[in-house]
A and B are shown apart, each in its own frame.
Chain A
């Protein structure tokens, strides 16, 4: 699972086997209403519609992604998480989902606050910049990591707000968010035990999927 080549949820060639999608699907009650922010070409929305009977809506920045979604019958608007979330009323969805997108937003804190305002619950998945391989790259080479998994140079990446898992926990604390459930996945897509201390999961986890609610 090459998580970090996912281009902040904005790639078009979405991987149907994206492990965070399966984790998100497991977290969701059937027949609920869901907003997928940064829904790319609608892979997650389609999955949830067919397997969970979810009434899903999406927002996507890239025109190509939106057009693909609408052409396959999904309700998706062309829009920007940083700008458009303000127009959604409070608690209008059961879930507001942000998968592999928070690192590409301008104001992650505001986006997170909106997710928790719009949804009864929020689900955020993000790549963990604290993973040991990335730490090692910086340490060894003294450069921003660029690899097959992380193909962008620092000056042309859509990802402008990378964080580690513990950084994100700080944000949750600052915003007053309750973490209902956390799924941290290893490089091989295996779930690290929830009993494992955060510091260790921050080192070994390649991505995190968190189910959140307003505290």
Chain B
């Protein structure tokens, strides 16, 4: 993507703000008669879900795949992003003839509850006040996100999804889907995820949230009314998180200790090293498309996720009697969701007598491998989905 193809920065802020309430995506709206029951013990109504679809829903509505996006992802899986002008985040995977083949399957991807691309989140206008919710929005959980997705799926008249697929936070949602709605999921594919957020992961998220809240422009979450944005704090949060998405070896391979646009060290605190400029760029481009309060909400949702805790501490109980076919994929260099996390889910699924496949893919590219060109992951997805389609008698 060349710089000229990108939306100009001055337009980006306005575009990002517009997307929060009036997205370019399709929207499903739910009024007060159809509230969302949140884990926090309150009801959310009215609310809306923004989504994209690809492919065609077949007559008996049996070919629908729900894709769950990761922490800072969105519904724009395989189309140009309305804010950044970049290609879809999983364009390598979703499309005609791709592993998730839109010639065969009807793909739905919605923005998560608590997000900032058109689904109700802290940046959305609170109908009670006419102002953005800010921190008045109840804390959201992964299960709340999934409940909202289920209401969206209902709105299509789809009883049972052919598959639910996602990576990282999306992979958590996949496991939650299978546990909460076992009769509504034929196939569940959870990539680079686990059944809980570890203490270390929570720690990194806390660093990020503290960075956001320490920004003087955060204004206790009411920055929208002040016409401000805590961009520096959010950029720092993104920089810290971004390090966890890569591996030591991939960072070393990409950057080593190479200097950025200079021959020698400056003995100052400019970005001497390439890795520093890279992180600064990652941080700054992120704040153009993401809302700071949304970052607080979605990281919190991941932190609270503990599927075993919902089931008396025994993960196998979450899947007892399930008929869903599972496929788990992990990456050897992922230190955010190491293989051990996937393996413990596999063990629980075995204990629950579930039909499970598990592939660990060797790569040095870390957690973000699921977003990259990983042929073994593509083969796994294609093979697993094709045999699932065959089982159901879907046309090849």
Contact = CB atoms under 8 A, between A and B. Distances in A.
| A and B assemble together | yes
Interface of A: 57, 63, 66-67, 69-79, 84, 87-89, 92
The 7 closest A-B pairs by CB, nearest first: A73-B387, A71-B383, A77-B358, A87-B347, A71-B379, A87-B350, A70-B357
B386 A73 contact: yes
A87 B327 CA distance: 17
13 contacts: A63-B359, A63-B360, A67-B376, A69-B357, A70-B327, A74-B357, A76-B358, A77-B346, A77-B356, A77-B357, A87-B348, A88-B351, A92-B353
Given A71-B379, A73-B386, A87-B351, A79 B346 contact: yes
Contact of B357 (A63, A76, A84): A76
In this complex, which of B343, B351, B358 has the most chain A Cβ atoms within 10 angstroms of its Cβ? Answer: B358
B347 A72 contact: no
A183 to B, nearest CB: 29
Contacts of A88: 350-351
Interface string B340-382: 0001001110110101111111100000000000001001101
B30 interface: no
A75 B356 contact: yes
A73 B383 contact: yes
Nearest to A71: B383
B380 A71 contact: yes
A9 B359 CA distance: 19
Given A73-B390, A77-B346, A92-B353, A66 B358 contact: yes
A78 B361 CA distance: 10
Interface residues of B, number: 27
B383 A70 contact: yes
B81 interface: no
A187 B350 CA distance: 38
Given A66-B360, A77-B357, A88-B351, 14 more contacts: A57-B355, A63-B359, A63-B361, A67-B361, A69-B357, A70-B357, A70-B384, A74-B357, A74-B387, A75-B325, A78-B358, A79-B358, A88-B350, A89-B351
In this complex, which of A66, A75, A84 has the most chain B Cβ atoms within 10 angstroms of its Cβ? Answer: A75
Contacts of B356: 57, 75, 77
B351 A70 contact: no
In this complex, which of A66, A74, A87, A89 has the most chain B Cβ atoms within 10 angstroms of its Cβ? Answer: A87
Contacts of B383: 70-73
B281 to A, nearest CB: 34
Nearest to B355: A75
Contact of B350 (A67, A76, A78, A84): A84
Contacts of B379: 67, 70-71
Contacts of B382: 71
